[in-house]
Amino acid sequence: MRRSISEMARECGVSVRTLHYYDQVGLLRPAAVSEESGYRWYDDAEVCRLQQILFYRELDFPLREIAAILSSPNYDAQEALRRQRELLTLKRRRLDRLLDLLDANLKGERTMDFSGFSTEELEAARSAYAAEAERRWGGTEAWRVSQERAAESGREDREAFRRQSNEIFRRFAALRSLSPAAPEAQAAVADWQSFLNERCYPCSRELLAGLGAMYTGDERFRSNLNRFGEGTAEFMSAAIAVFCKN
């Protein structure tokens, strides 16, 4: 489902200004931008990504850390959700303690217990998760290069990247009737790897194989790729698997 920026803002409970800013800093880019009007359009993949961003914001992660985590080629969405749930559970426990303290005061039970105000447990867990995320997703050469290139890219660069990557995805979609091992499919994979090497990060076969698995294992990737034709994600993933075994 495609949404305008105002529809996206209304549906997700954020401001249009916030969406503009997230696009500006490369944290959440629209699926498409109209060349004539400059209107931004968002698909379901961007909604899922925004939800991830808002989970991290709810846990007071700085935008810089969120961008570093989400931009990693090794990002594991399911693992991230599990860890976010742990942190939100700690936050809920703190709020429950504060509510208990308020209820006691409303009943006239004065207490000098200030433990409910402490954020020490939550902050320790959040810091540990941030450090773990940096180790798992931020310590690779690929991540470092991707961050440098993202910082250097401007709006025109991002639009060129989107157009060029979409062209490759359309190419995969057009090849879906062939075997993933067909020469045409394998040539498309080689071009995709070269594109990632040039525009994103050093893309080894090991890293490419991990990306291929995510194209079907992560619903955001699957939905985004299947916009170009049902089964594109599965075909691209299978072609990458063949390429990386050879």
Looking at per-residue confidence, does 72 or 160 come out higher? 160
Give residue 172's pLDDT. Answer: 95
Instruction: Give dist(CA 49, CA 36) in Å, integer.
Output: 26
Task: Answer with the residue of higher pLDDT: 80 or 52.
Answer: 52
**3-class DSSP string for the chain:** CCEEHHHHHHHHCCCHHHHHHHHHCCCCCCCEECCCCCCEEECHHHHHHHHHHHHHHHCCCCHHHHHHHHCCCCCCHHHHHHHHHHHHHHHHHHHHHHHHHHHHHHCCCCCCCCHHHCCHHHHHHHHHHHHHHHHHHHCCHHHHHHHHHHHHCCHHHHHHHHHHHHHHHHHHHHCCCCCCCCHHHHHHHHHHHHHHHHHCCCCCHHHHHHHHHHHHHCHHHHHHHHCCCCCHHHHHHHHHHHHHHC
| pLDDT of 45 over the 90 cut | no
- Calculate the alpha carbon distances from 43 to 24, 40, 46, 75, 77 in Å: 18, 10, 6, 20, 18
Can you give the pLDDT at residue 134? 56
pLDDT of residue 138: 52
What pLDDT is stored for residue 181 in this prediction? 95
pLDDT of residue 96: 85
Residue 139, pLDDT above cutoff 60? no
d(CA 45, CA 21): 18
pLDDT for position 38: 81
What pLDDT does 245 receive?
86
pLDDT > 70: percent of the chain: 76
Q: Please determine, for residue 73, whether its predicted confidence score (pLDDT) is greater than 70.
A: no
Q: How much is the pLDDT for 185?
A: 95
Report the percentage of the chain scoring pLDDT > 90: 22
Condensed to tens digits (0 to 9), the pLDDT of residues 143-198 reads 455 555 555 555 556 677 778 888 999 999 999 999 999 999 999 999 999 988 77
pLDDT digits (tens, 9 = 90+) for 84-135: 788 788 878 878 888 888 888 788 776 655 555 666 666 666 566 555 555 5
**Helix-helix angle 155-174:183-199, to 10 degrees:** 170
Tokens read off for 124: 């320790």
Residue 63 binned pLDDT confidence (cut-offs 50, 70, 90): confident
Task: Retrieve residue 133's tokens.
Answer: 């995320």
Predicted pLDDT at 190: 93
Least confident of 1-10, 51-60, 228-237: 51-60
Q: Which residues contact 221 (CB under 8 A, 6 or more apart)?
A: 45, 214, 215, 233
Residue with tokens 């440098």: 148
Q: Give me the pLDDT at residue 180, please.
A: 95
The C-alpha atoms of residue 171 and residue 165 are separated, in whole angstroms, by 10
Three-state DSSP at 4 gives: strand
